[in-house]
Chain A
Amino acid sequence: MNLLEFVSELFSVEKDSLKLETGPGDFPEWDSLGHLNLLTELEEKFNITFDMDETMSIQSISDLKKTLEDKGIDCS
């Protein structure tokens, strides 16, 4: 899965505007509700769950990528 594409599609933002450092609050669509939607979409798509520590540690797309890869999901 291309994570940048996934985030871009979910929030309807241009993929080019996203970087690995982009995170919650960096653009209006990625607010608390958007963040919850992002995590639940990923949980459903890959049949995974994020525990509290993982949730707290996700402050950028890069963090999210690392968390997903730790769960064996290819985010290249």
Chain B
Amino acid sequence: MKVKLIDALLNQPPNKTFLIIDDKTISYGDFLKLVSKTISFLKKSSKKYVFINSEKNEFTLAAYFASSKLGKISAFIDPLSKYPELFTGLSNDDGIYFSNEDYKEVTKSEFKPIINSEQVTHNDISEIIFTTGTTGSPKGVLISHETTLNTAININKFTGLKNADVEMHMMPISHSFGLARVRCCVLKGCTIIFQNGFSNLASFFIALEQYKGTVISTVPAGIQFLIKLTKDKISNYQSQIRMIELGSSPMTSESKIELTQLLPNTDICMHYGLTEASRSTFLDFKKDYKFISSVGKANKGTKILIIDKNDNKCSNNDNGEVCIAGTNLFSGYAFTKIKPQYHKEYFKTGDYGYLDDNGYLFFQGRKDDMMNISGKKVSPIEIEKYINQVSFIRDVACIEAENKRTGLVEIKAFVVLDDKKIVDNWSSEIKKYLKNKIEYYKIPARIVNIDSIPKSHNGKILRIKLKEDNEC
């Protein structure tokens, strides 16, 4: 199988705009030149992996495409992650590590026109996406060339992405959703506008206005933030914004309806999936209006099965573990001791939900206690481990909770303090300690002192009781 993504790049008019980052515009032709130079740079090493420090820029993308063409495996490293200490068995010896400094060397490398794509065998691994594991230990999710291509084709079929579309790309590219959107755009030859989230609202609206963005891809928290701070300003663009794809974290029915009312002419869809099974379902906010509280129906090439604790198939409308089979499945884990769990050909996701009589999937929660903070999966166990290391902490439990003022989900930590060791500004001291240990988005927004952590008879933290008792 050829690397179709490289072919897609080659098939576009060289002068067509591929990427816009701030004031910089990069054409398909210029981008291919950069890919070619990156290929020359990477060829110098025989190492299998290319660890890409995935800041959102053209060099990162060029490294990804160059790795694909050479049959190397791209491993995206979140710029915020504590690489490589966190990953089991992963070291600098495994591959080339690209920092921004290395990209300067790439631009000096030899340019050779790319004629067509090289052959890559059917099940060759294209990339590794790192995610937080259920035990708090990160793991690498292996994705094949075939899976990335099939998934992108199926997404484009559902969303109807067009060659003329200009996408406002709001997410990190080290994550499954953000990277998949790039692949979708490349397959169709679209223009992509890289934005680093919605923190700079003026930049978002200037780019939307100047480059006539037609598609927005973001997590629900991004859209909720936009509406919260700019009210109905987005509705001024209702005839311009043709499509929005949302995903990576749940969204309330009320928020879905509000967005649909603000943008009545826009096709809005939302997917459900995991890094291990990208875009397993799709929900069209208009066509599936009656089922707006669901996460939609199985996407093309995907099958969903709900099983009970004995691995028996559940009846419709009965809750069980969501299992997924199909062309969108990952190829396995790397740099972890965790083994994926299967039921026949179905991957057991660890999510709970049910299928109704019409085939709509209703997500009910996680089997474990994983939290979802603006689309980033966060294990409470990891945060609790580090808070417990603080000298004046006797016990701790973390949950996700809605901030009543902002309406967005954030991490809330409950701590039991040791009166003999407590310090002034204890909350700030905990945050300062965490800052050196974990990524910023894992640091609890609120830390509350309580007398004791509710636990079961065998010592398991009763997080639901914690939520109920504290009206979270």
Which residues from chain A sit less than 8 Å from chain B, CB to CB? 9, 12, 23-25, 28-37, 39-40, 44, 50, 52, 55-57, 59
Within 426-471 of B, Cβ neighbours of A (below 8 Å) are at 428, 431-432, 435, 439-441, 443, 445
Within 176-217 of B, Cβ neighbours of A (below 8 Å) are at 196-202, 205
| Residue pair B197, A52 in contact (C-beta under 8 Å) | no
| Residue pair B198, A12 in contact (C-beta under 8 Å) | no
| A39–B228 CA distance with the chains assembled, in angstroms | 11
Residues of chain A lying within 8 A (CB to CB) of residue B408: 33, 36
For the complex formed, measure the closest distance between the CB of A25 and the CB atoms of chain B, giving whole angstroms: 5
Within 207-241 of B, Cβ neighbours of A (below 8 Å) are at 221-222, 225, 228-231, 233
Answer whether residue B374 sits at the interface, using C-beta atoms and an 8 A cutoff: yes
- Which of B225, B233, B374, B405 has a CB less than 8 Å from the CB of A52? B233
| A32–B222 CA distance with the chains assembled, in angstroms | 7
| Residue pair A55, B200 in contact (C-beta under 8 Å) | no
- Which of A9, A37, A56 has a CB less than 8 Å from the CB of B445? A37
Answer whether residue B252 sits at the interface, using C-beta atoms and an 8 A cutoff: no
| A29–B197 CA distance with the chains assembled, in angstroms | 12
| A55–B445 CA distance with the chains assembled, in angstroms | 22
Which residues from chain B sit less than 8 Å from chain A, CB to CB? 80, 196-202, 205, 221-222, 225, 228-231, 233, 374, 403, 405-406, 408, 410, 428, 431-432, 435, 439-441, 443, 445
For the complex formed, measure the closest distance between the CB of B21 and the CB atoms of chain A, giving whole angstroms: 13
| A55–B229 CA distance with the chains assembled, in angstroms | 7
- Which of B201, B225, B432 has a CB less than 8 Å from the CB of A33? B225
| Residue pair A12, B435 in contact (C-beta under 8 Å) | yes
24 A-B pairs within 8 Å (CB atoms) are namely A9-B428, A12-B428, A12-B431, A12-B435, A25-B199, A28-B439, A32-B199, A32-B221, A33-B374, A33-B408, A35-B199, A35-B225, A35-B229, A36-B408, A37-B406, A37-B445, A39-B229, A40-B406, A50-B229, A52-B229, A52-B233, A55-B230, A57-B202, A59-B202
Instruction: Tell me the dominant secondary structure on chain A's binding face.
Output: helix
| A54–B406 CA distance with the chains assembled, in angstroms | 18
For the complex formed, measure the closest distance between the CB of A67 and the CB atoms of chain B, giving whole angstroms: 13
| A33–B23 CA distance with the chains assembled, in angstroms | 25
Q: If the complex has contacts A36-B228, A39-B229, are A59 and B200 also in contact, measured as CB distance less than 8 A?
A: yes
Residues of chain B lying within 8 A (CB to CB) of residue A25: 196-197, 199-200
For the complex formed, measure the closest distance between the CB of A57 and the CB atoms of chain B, giving whole angstroms: 7
| Residue pair A36, B406 in contact (C-beta under 8 Å) | yes
For the complex formed, measure the closest distance between the CB of A71 and the CB atoms of chain B, giving whole angstroms: 17
Interface centre among B374, B406, B410 (most CB of A within 10 A): B406
For the complex formed, measure the closest distance between the CB of A37 and the CB atoms of chain B, giving whole angstroms: 7
| Residue pair B405, A40 in contact (C-beta under 8 Å) | yes
Residues of chain A lying within 8 A (CB to CB) of residue B230: 52, 55-56
